[in-house]
């Protein structure tokens, strides 16, 4: 997958800008802070996820004194070119594919498949369980339409069950019926989550040795309300709902279920959050992102676009070179940096750009393979 053309209108500090990028190339965006480097990555990420990775406030994405913004791209997917456009005004998104409206966001998300690394991602290990569930769900939604529709249905059932629990006289039969339906959907989601995390662990461990001279092993432990190897997940879930019904009626909220799931990351037999250094956390996170890219290639037949924001800070030249060497050769990569990088670090074609005041100028370096 490759972004061939990218166009902004009133997006962040870009009034009107158009860019062209070569496929299967590393694109290094160099410049001082607040010049617009990360905004380019943010625009690609928005095309992929229909949200920013930096803010929840849509208004922050609109250029000062303007009322709306648009992002357009020409993306290559399996040798096919697709024309996409997002227009946002009054917090409402209008989506277009080949110039025609796309009515459902679920039909747009994942057309551009982009994976992001940014410094804030290091909070994944220590933040709330909801952030780790979001990490799982965000990638599975792009990989599986079944997962997308099942998760949406489960969330509706959960909302209905919570509403029933909040009633002045809760209807026990209704609550039980909703639980039966939730258990059916939850089984599918648990199986897909467990399978995904198992595969991610495998792929991350293939990458991890690249960053470390010593042998390190990563385990990813999926924590859910029932045993994932249970012979009958639905029955186990129903039993968990029944055991919690008294508490649920008191709190007027569903206290067990996949909406409470969590992930534990264990490095060399110890919880990552308790023993790992910042450098180890960074390399584990990079291994997870590259491992994820390999999963996507196996499932879809093409690599996603990799977005690496400020990835080289706190990495020495040896680890910088190791990171670049670990990136699949035919994957398009965008890297932002405020430090000058030697072309000698790169083992594949690379283009350098200088970004200043929302203007991007191609540099003099172009290393041939």
> What are the pLDDT digits (tens) for 187-202?
999 999 999 999 999 9
User: What topology is assigned to 1-113+304-369 in CATH?
Assistant: Rossmann fold (3.40.50)
Distance CA(358)–CA(17), nearest Å, equals 8
Q: How far is CA 322 from CA 286, 288, 317, 365, in A?
A: 11, 15, 8, 20
| Structure-block tokens of residue 261 | 């799931």
Is 35 annotated to bind a ligand? Reply is yes
Q: Which residues pair with 309 in a beta bridge?
A: 336
Topology match between the domains 1-113+304-369 and 125-299: no
> What are the pLDDT digits (tens) for 47-76?
999 999 999 899 999 999 899 999 999 999
Is 32 annotated to bind a ligand? Reply is yes
pLDDT of residue 127: 92
Distance CA(123)–CA(30), nearest Å, equals 25
* Residue in 97, 95, 106 with CA at minimum distance from that of residue 70: 95
Percent of the chain with pLDDT over 90: 70
How many Cβ atoms sit within 10 Å of the Cβ of residue 90? 8
Mean pLDDT score, 117-141:
92
> What are the pLDDT digits (tens) for 257-304?
999 999 999 999 999 999 888 888 888 999 999 999 999 999 989 999
Is 302 annotated to bind a ligand? Reply is no
Query: How is the chain split into domains, by residue range?
Result: 1-113+304-369, 125-299
Distance CA(202)–CA(204), nearest Å, equals 6
How is residue 63 annotated by DSSP? P
Q: Are strands 68-77 and 305-309 parallel, antiparallel or unpaired?
A: unpaired
- pLDDT at 368 exceeding the cut of 70: no
Is 253 annotated to bind a ligand? Reply is no
Distance CA(202)–CA(309), nearest Å, equals 25
Is 291 annotated to bind a ligand? Reply is no
Number of DSSP helices (H) and strands (E) in the chain, helices first: 8, 15
Over the chain, what is the mean pLDDT? 91
The C-alpha R_g of the chain, in whole angstroms, comes to 22
pLDDT of residue 366: 41
Is 77 annotated to bind a ligand? Reply is no
Mean pLDDT score, 165-175:
94
Is 37 annotated to bind a ligand? Reply is yes
How is residue 62 annotated by DSSP? B
**Strands ordered across the beta sheet of 262-267:** 218-223, 262-267, 270-271
In the chain, which ranges are continuous DSSP H helix? 37-49, 129-143, 145-166, 172-207, 233-251, 272-275, 278-300, 317-326
- pLDDT at 213 exceeding the cut of 70: no
pLDDT of residue 212: 73
Mean pLDDT score, 84-94:
94
Q: Which residues pair with 354 in a beta bridge?
A: 30, 361
Residues near 195 by beta carbon (within 8 Å), at least 6 away in sequence: none
Q: What is the DSSP string of 358-369?
A: TEEEEEEEEE--
Distance CA(132)–CA(254), nearest Å, equals 20
Mean pLDDT score, 362-366:
60
| Structure-block tokens of residue 349 | 């074609």
* Residue in 41, 54, 47, 49 with CA at minimum distance from that of residue 69: 47
Helix (H) or strand (E) holding 70: strand 68-77
* Residue in 6, 66, 37 with CA at minimum distance from that of residue 358: 37
> What are the pLDDT digits (tens) for 39-54?
999 999 999 999 999 9
- pLDDT at 335 exceeding the cut of 60: yes
| Structure-block tokens of residue 99 | 């110039």
- pLDDT at 184 exceeding the cut of 70: yes
Q: Please tell me whether residue 98 adopts helix, strand or coil conformation.
A: coil
pLDDT of residue 367: 40
Mean pLDDT score, 104-113:
90
Q: Are strands 26-30 and 350-356 parallel, antiparallel or unpaired?
A: parallel
Residues near 215 by beta carbon (within 8 Å), at least 6 away in sequence: 209
CATH superfamily of 125-299: RecF/RecN/SMC, N-terminal domain (1.20.1050.90)
Distance CA(278)–CA(126), nearest Å, equals 12
The band of 209, judged by pLDDT with boundaries at 50, 70 and 90, is confident
| Structure-block tokens of residue 228 | 């994932």
pLDDT of residue 364: 52
pTM of the model: 0.90
Helix (H) or strand (E) holding 95: strand 92-97
């Amino acid at each position: 997958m490759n972004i061939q053309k990218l166009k902004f209108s009133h997006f962040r500090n870009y009034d009107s800008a158009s860019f062209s990028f070569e496929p299967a190339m590393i694109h290094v965006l160099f410049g001082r802070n607040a010049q617009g480097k990360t905004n380019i990555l943010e625009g690609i990420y928005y095309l992929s996820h229909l949200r920013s990775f930096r803010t929840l406030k849509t208004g922050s994405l609109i250029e000062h004194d303007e009322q709306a913004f648009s992002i357009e791209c020409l993306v290559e997917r399996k040798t096919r070119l697709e024309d996409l456009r997002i227009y946002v005004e009054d917090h409402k998104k209008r989506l277009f594919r080949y110039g025609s409206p796309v009515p459902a966001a679920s039909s747009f998300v994942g057309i551009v498949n982009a994976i992001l690394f940014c410094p804030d991602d290091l909070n994944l290990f220590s933040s709330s369980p909801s952030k780790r569930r979001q990490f799982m769900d965000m990638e599975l939604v792009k990989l599986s339409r079944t997962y997308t529709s099942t998760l949406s249905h489960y969330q509706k059932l959960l909302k209905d069950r919570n509403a029933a629990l909040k009633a002045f006289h809760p209807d026990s039969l209704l609550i039980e019926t909703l639980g039966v339906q939730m258990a059916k959907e939850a089984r599918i989601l648990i199986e897909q989550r467990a399978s995904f995390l198992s595969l991610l662990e495998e792929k991350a461990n293939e990458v991890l040795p690249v960053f470390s001279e010593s042998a390190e092993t990563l385990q990813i432990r999926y924590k859910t309300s029932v045993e994932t190897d249970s012979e009958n997940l639905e029955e186990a879930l129903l039993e968990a709902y029944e055991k919690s019904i008294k508490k649920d009626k008191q709190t007027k909220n569903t206290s067990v279920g996949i909406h409470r799931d969590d992930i534990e990351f264990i490095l060399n037999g110890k919880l990552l959050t308790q023993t790992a250094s910042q450098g180890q956390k960074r390399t584990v996170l990079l291994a997870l992102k590259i491992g994820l890219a390999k999963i996507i290639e196996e499932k879809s037949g093409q690599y996603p676009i990799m977005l690496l924001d400020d990835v080289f800070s706190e990495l020495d030249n040896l680890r910088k070179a190791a990171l670049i060497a670990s990136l699949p050769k035919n994957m398009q990569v965008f890297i932002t940096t405020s430090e000058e990088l030697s072309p000698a670090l790169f083992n594949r074609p690379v283009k350098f750009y200088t970004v200043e005041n929302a203007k991007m100028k191609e540099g003099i370096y172009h290393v041939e393979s």
